[in-house]
Structure 1
Amino acid sequence: MQSAQDLAALLAGRVPLVVVETRDEGRALAVVADSAHRTGGPAPVVLRWTVTDGLAPLGAPPGSGQHFTADVGAVLKHIRDSTMPAVYVLLDVHPFLTDPVTVRLLKDVCLNPARVPRTLVLVSHRVELPPEVEHLAARVEVLPPDRAEREAIVDRAAHEWARSAGRPVDVDPHARALLVQNLGGLSAGEAERLARGAVLDGALAHSDLPTVMQAKYELLARGGVLTYEYDLPPVEDVGGMGRLVRWLRMRRAAFDGSTALEPPRGVLLLGVQGCGKSMAAKAAAGVLGVPLLRLDLAAVHNKYVGESERILRETLATAEVLAPCVLWVDEVEKALADDADSGAGRRVLGTFLTWLAERPAPVFVVATANDVSGLPPELVRKGRFDELFFVDLPDDDARGHILRVHAARRGIALTDADVAGLAAASAGHSGAELEQAVVSALYTAHADGAAPTAAHVWSELVATRPLSVVMAERVAALRAWASTRTVPAAD
């Protein structure tokens, strides 16, 4: 276990203070216990402290601690005055680190570690050390279970079910391998719960994997910055983006590792509002055959210094845990505008750019924008994204396809002649406006007490002033800019 080796090196080096930030408290305690036996000398005594029990040997049952040391000040004084070499694991001590007396006692314990070889290990989901002791501390990351450990977890769940049911679990070897892969990034306890759920019906098959992935997302996605998109449209429903779909299909083998080619990194989609950039992002996940996550960059901003970057780093780390996946960043220009005047905005941009360039996990990024002029140049340049596509207003064929899809989805029968006539009548309409015309036709038909027909759709189309007319100058300027600077998403 790499975490235990790292911590053992710190214990052997008599580092006075070690910080472990993790939500998996049980695994952190196991790492500490393991590292105590790897220091190269006699294993030090390991003691655990909680505010409810006080100080007790690691592994002792609840309620067996020294209750006179339950107060954080009392336990730090006890540790300071003790001459026994030991490792002291303080659980959830972070709320007390704003008290000046606690800070001074903590510093007293950490000073002069050569007199008594001891180490304090602070374990919590988050630990912000005061500057007085920050320079005395080292941080250790508790890594989630590796592949071998996850395989043991899945096999243990299957054996437990077989013991209780009196028959073995019907295991598909390929589904088992995928389950082991999909449990990556979870804590041991979380992985055990999902593994037990996967074998609950006595079989481990491919049909269990989508449920596992959704449950994994719900465990990892905290704070509302990252959302899991459950409803992905069929690729066939995407109209007017044939070039983009072919581009994605050519790179699927490289993305899933089937070839030795360098995997694709992502695309930036620029286009007229309502022309299907969001639909294209969803279609990308369908073409690549992976889940779709949506990142709300605007939601990472926080009023406290450093919090925005931390939230973004944690969110991107979650996306890596859920890899392989498509990460959809919608309307990226609104969160990373070039004229951002705050230091926090520039730091968020820097964090995002660094991740785009260095991410090791197979996360395909699809960023969408309505106004590329609002984006910083360092985001648009090659290397951040593989290609810049322009999603234009649909042509006659694309409009016919879009109308046919939305009409069929809502039970409106259209003949080929109907589709051709409606496509001709809807020049300049975006995909969103075509869909709304079909929806409005349903309301009109219902008000007339009649079944919806192509005539109702035609009436809505001719009564609508599309965005390409209402904002003709801006749309024309955008199309003119993109004509020589981007790759058309359509054929």
Structure 2
Amino acid sequence: MDDSRDLELILRSRTPLVVVETHEEARVLELLMGLSQRMMTQLYRWSVTEGLRRLDKDMAAQRHNIEPAAVLGHIRSAKTPGLYVLLDFHPYLSEPINVRMLKDIALECEQWGATIILLSHEIELPGELARYSARFELSLPSPETLRRIINDVAREWGAQHVGKRVRADAAAVDLLVRNLAGLPLLDARRLIRNAIYLDGAITQEDIPAVMQAKYRLLEGGGALSFEYDTARFSDLGGMKHLKSWLQRRAASFSAAPPPGLEPPKGILLLGVQGCGKSLAAKSVAGTFGVPLLRLDFGTLYNKYHGETERNLREALRTAEVMSPCVLWMDEIEKGIGTDSGEGSGPSKRVLGALLTWMAERTDQVFMVATANDITALPPELVRKGRFDEIFFVDLPDAAARLTILDVHLKRRNLDPEAFDLTLLVSASEGFSGAELEQAVVSALYESYATGQPVSGDMLLHELQRTRPLSVVMAEKIEALRRWAAERTVPAD
């Protein structure tokens, strides 16, 4: 994409107001400097700290034009042709006098060949100015540009460390380029410099830190959070069908698939509470070797009309920039279910925005949605084609319970061989993974309180006095199983 050509087309169209939203102020000014010479027109820059200053010639700033209203009055009265760049003018667009003066300039400036360029990190034009404006977006650096920056920074590091060269392998460089996609040039250069200057090397171990830093640059304290700890499949008991399905698709997600084969889009995990759906979502990211982002529907909703949908769009846009990644929507029925707490209006609009994104997205964002109550989900979401597959996560069988107990005992520095796991597995029929973990935790509390080491009897006692969810909510779980029997694929 040629930024210079695209911006020149907008400027030559004599659009009165041009809006540029970016943090790369210096890059835009450099672009405009070249265009002003090519178009043989004057270039001015205004800021509230320096006033109005001509940039294409070395001229002092006009300090008397510091106030926003004063500089607009000067531009209108002087009627001097040129490009006028107003830096960080967005706070002053809430003042009626400035809006009216900008509109007056927009109505008149075609006669004397001037263009006002509003340059800031965020600009929302009032409605009365929108029709006189055009927006320009800086292109993001291409893979070739990112490789060139990597080479430049490597040479820079080598010049400072005489006799040494940056250590890098081709696979690590490819990963770095891929994971920097979507960042502005200056941010990409900063992260490349951090990766190289840390140890004079580019390795695959650098990628997680790069992705965490990338997310921090993008996050706005919204509904999306970066999950730093992803799981491994070895942490999951059972779910052999789900594991096999994901492992067959891992290669086509992490690399460009062959022609005719699209990258996997996502899965819906439906099942009994506490049976490992959240852990499975984390393990997807671990298997694919990509970051995990979690969308919190509780934070997403806003009482003001339209804000909820905007929050969702911003979260999805961040996920796209973070691609390749896994986007985890936990308990999705609470956000877009047919009986969501905010009333039908916001829920329907959020559902519509999400379905549109799911249908049109092209970035490598693998969506993992988890749900406990399928009856609360709208039929539009669960129809065939929305997800690659819908898996049902049932209560763990004996083999899975053995694995789960083994994992939780080892995690707490307890030797599984010191316990009669066969007896414990038999006594835990109908227990979920979460209930098995809590039995181990309760035994540890008992051990601490009595001063005795954790024993099999302690664990057995905790299991025997627990009423698992499969007993407390037997009817509801059985109904869920019947629904899933012919509509989903068993995870195990």
Compute the TM-score of the two structures, normalised by the length of structure 1. 0.94
Report the alpha carbon displacement of residue 159 of structure 1 after superposing the two structures with TM. Answer: 1.6
Deviation at 1:210, TM superposition (A): 1.9
Q: Which residue of 1 aligns with 2:332?
A: 332
CA deviation map 1:449-477 (0-9, x unaligned): 12112221111111111111122222222
Distance 1:345-1:140 versus aligned 2 partners, 3 A rule: farther
Deviation at 1:487, TM superposition (A): 1.2
Q: Structure 1 residue 166 and structure 2 residue 168: aligned?
A: no
8 A contact 2:266–2:389 mirrored in 1? yes
Deviation (angstroms), 1:203: 2.0
Tell me the equivalent position of 1:446: 448
- Which whole-Å CA distance do the structure 1 matches of 2:437 and 2:192 have between them? 42
Q: Tell me which amino acid in the other structure corresponds to 1:331.
A: E
Residue 147 of structure 1: aligned partner? 143
Q: Could you list the per-position Cα deviations for residues 413-459 of structure 1 after superposition, in whole angstroms to 9, with x for gaps in the alignment? A: 23398122111101111100000101111111222212112221111
Aligned: 1:280 with 2:272: no
Count of matched residue positions in the alignment of Structure 1 and Structure 2: 486
**1:352-401 CA deviation, whole Å, 9 max, x = no partner?**
11111111111100000111111122111222211111111111111111
Q: 1:414 to 1:455 in 2, by over 3 A?
A: farther
Tell me how far apart the structure 2 counterparts of residues 184 and 391 of structure 1 sit (CA, whole Å): 35
Asked whether the 8 Å contact 2:222–2:300 carries over to 1, the reply is no
**Contact (CA 8 Å) 2:247, 2:287: kept in 1 or not?**
yes
2:33–2:56 Cα contact (<8 Å) kept: no
Equivalent residue in structure 1 for 2:43, among 37, 42, 46? 46
Cα distance in 1 for residues equivalent to 2:148 and 2:53: 31
* 2:114 aligned residue: 118
Instruction: Determine if contact 1:414/1:454 at 8 Å carries over to the other structure.
Output: no
**Are the aligned partners of 2:227 and 2:294 in contact in 1 as well (CA < 8 Å)?**
yes
Change over 3 Å in CA distance of 1:147–1:258 after alignment to 2: closer
Q: Find the partner of 2:192 among 181, 184, 195.
A: 195
Separation of aligned partners in 1, 2:295 and 2:57: 43
Q: Could you say which residue in structure 2 is the equivalent of 1:19?
A: 19
Deviation of 1:37 (Å): 5.5
Q: Within 2, Cα distance between the matches of 1:416 and 1:448?
A: 19
CA 1:49 to 1:344, structure 2 compared with 1: closer, same or farther past 3 Å?
farther
Within 5 Å, give how 1:61-100 maps onto structure 2: 64-100=60-96
Matched, 1:251 2:245: no
State the shift of 1:213 in Å. 1.5
Residues 79-137 of structure 1, C-alpha deviations (whole Å, 9 max, x = no match): 11233221111111111111111111010010134302221111222211111111111
Shift of residue 35 of structure 1? 4.5
Name the structure 1 match of 2:202.
204
> Partners in 2 of 1:383 and 1:27 — Cα distance?
43
Q: Please point out which of 53, 56, 64 is paired with 1:56.
A: 53
User: 2:382 aligned with 1:385, yes or no?
Assistant: no
Which residue of the partner structure matches residue 459 of structure 1?
Answer: 461
Structure 1 CA distance for aligned equivalents of residues 216 and 129 of structure 2: 36
How large is the RMSD of aligned CA atoms in angstroms?
A: 2.0
Q: Please identify, of 440-449 and 254-263, the stretch whose mean Cα deviation from structure 2 is larger.
A: 254-263
The superposition leaves residues 59-96 of structure 1 with CA deviations (integer Å, 9 ceiling, x where unpaired) of 889x9521211111111111112332211111111111
Once residues 213 and 417 of structure 2 are traced to their aligned partners in structure 1, the CA distance between those partners, rounded to angstroms, is 43
CA shift, 1:240, in A, is 2.0
- Secondary structure of the residue aligned to 2:85 is strand
Residue 3 of structure 1, CA deviation: 3.3
Give the unaligned 5+ runs of structure 2.
Answer: none
8 Å contact from structure 2 (residues 270, 372) kept in 1: yes
Residue of structure 1 in register with 2:371 after alignment: 369
Indicate if the aligned counterparts of 1:357 and 1:383 stay in contact, CA closer than 8 A. Answer: no
Distance 1:105 1:70 in 2: 16
The match for 1:301 is 301
Q: 2:338, 2:347 within 8 Å by CA — same for their partners in 1?
A: no
Q: Which range is displaced more, 173-182 or 457-466?
A: 173-182
8 Å contact 2:42–2:56 — kept in the other structure? no
Kindly report which structure 2 residues correspond to 1:265-276, keeping only aligned pairs within 5 A, or say none. Answer: 265-276=265-276
Aligned amino acid, residue 235 of structure 2: D
**Match for residue 236 of structure 2 among 235, 238, 262:** 238
Evaluate the alpha carbon distance shift between residue 489 and residue 102 of structure 1 in structure 2; reply closer, same or farther with a 3 A threshold: same
Q: More deviation in 409-418 or 210-219? A: 409-418
Task: Give every structure 1 segment of 4 or more consecutive aligned residues whose post-TM-superposition deviation is greater than 4 Å.
Answer: 34-38
- Secondary structure (helix, strand or coil) at the match of 2:405 reads helix
Give the corresponding residue for 1:129.
125
Query: How many Å apart are 1:480 and its aligned residue?
Result: 2.0
Separation of aligned partners in 2, 1:150 and 1:9: 26
Instruction: Decide which moves more: 191-200 or 141-150.
Output: 141-150
Q: Report the Cα distance in structure 2 between the residues aligned to 1:47 and 1:147, rounded to whole angstroms.
A: 34
Q: Which amino acid aligns with 1:129?
A: L
Measure, in 1, the Cα distance between the counterparts of 2:351 and 2:298: 12
Judge conservation of contact 1:53–1:64 (CA < 8 Å) in 2. no
Q: Say if 2:11 and 2:115, in contact at 8 Å, map to a contact too.
A: yes
Q: What SS does the aligned partner of 1:327 have? A: strand
In the other structure, the counterpart of 1:470 is: 472
Q: Is the 8 A contact 2:267 2:388 kept in 1?
A: yes
What is the CA deviation profile of residues 38-66 of structure 1, one whole-angstrom value per residue up to 9, with x for unaligned ones? 6xxx33222111111111134889x9521
User: What amino acid sits opposite 2:358 in the alignment?
Assistant: L
Q: Structure 1 residue aligned with 2:428, among 401, 415, 426?
A: 426
Q: Distance in 2 between matches of 1:284 and 1:389?
A: 13
Letter of the 2:219 partner, please give it: A
Paired AA for residue 196 in structure 2: V
SS in 1 for 2:119: strand
Distance (whole Å) between structure 2 residues aligned to residue 4 and residue 295 of structure 1? 37
Q: Is 404-413 or 302-311 further displaced after alignment?
A: 302-311
Residues 79 and 109 of structure 2 are in contact (CA less than 8 Å); yes or no, is this contact kept in structure 1? no
Structure 2 residue identity aligned to 1:101: I
* Structure 1 spans left out of the alignment, 5+ residues: none
Letter in 1 for 2:236: V
In structure 2, distance between residues paired with 1:412 and 1:454: 11
